[in-house]
Amino acid sequence: MLLASILRTVARLVNDRRLRSPIETGPSVTTSVLTHVSRCSTGHSVHIVFLSYIVKMRPLTDEETKTMFEKLSKYIGENIKLLVDRPDGTYCFRLHNDRVYYMSEKILKLATNFSRDKLVSVGTCFGKFTKTTKFRMHITALDFLAPYAKFKVWVKPGTEQSFLYGNHVLKSGLGRITENTMQYQGVVVYSMADVPLGFGVAAKTTQECRRVDPMSIVVFHQADVGEFIRNEDTLT
């Protein structure tokens, strides 16, 4: 119980800071973080990468952009336009060490002052490209998925904790689901208080959800805000 409440407060704190829509507030509020490598300060292992394998930060190629947009559109549909074309500033995607970062051009210009091996993260990390050029989205993208999500799933208070530990959502834990959800549609998972908890993939259509037995999985877990604590090392 204590752990659940801690997790929830952490999730809430994290999300409250970032919950406001990126468009309303200025770019200073959206997570424009420039981190510098701090060796040995946390005690966690820092990635030891050989110099010759760090490629410079660069914009995405056409194929990579296409792959990433396809993944994003599974969750937010045509609202990607709002991310690409923003009225309150020029924001862009850049690739650094196989990870895709979303940042404003001001931050980008600041980031050029760091050498490649010392630059850990710029702006918000949306995800990474695997070795076989597949795009894998990280939980850090939730800030930009939640306000624009097309298909949402609300989860009951009892199942929140289970989901935050990385389990799938069963039918018994399902509170609400957007109508017309297709099977294997990307969905954003919310708590009943409209706090985004993570995202996943719908295992059943809305119609089917109503029929199945309470023990079957309705949403496959993909990322949740508990990962900020569990996978601290691998998130950048």
Distance CA 19, CA 147 (A): 8
In whole angstroms, how close is the CB of 27 to other proteins at the nearest point? 14
Percentages (nearest 5) of helix, strand, coil residues in the chain: 35, 25, 40
DSSP collapsed to 3 states, 105-170: HHHHHHHCCCCCCCEEEECEEEEEECCCCCEEECHHHHHHHCCCCCCEEEECHHHHHHHHCCCCEE
- Which is nearer to other proteins, 164 or 174 (by Cβ)? 174
Q: What is the binding site for other proteins (CB under 8 A)?
A: 52, 56-59, 61-62, 65-66, 69-70, 73, 78, 80-81, 84-85, 90, 92, 94, 105, 108-109, 112, 115, 152, 171-172, 174-180, 182, 205-207, 210-211, 214
In whole angstroms, how close is the CB of 227 to other proteins at the nearest point? 27
- Which is nearer to other proteins, 52 or 132 (by Cβ)? 52
In whole angstroms, how close is the CB of 197 to other proteins at the nearest point? 17
- Which is nearer to other proteins, 197 or 209 (by Cβ)? 209
In whole angstroms, how close is the CB of 198 to other proteins at the nearest point? 19
Distance CA 191, CA 146 (A): 12
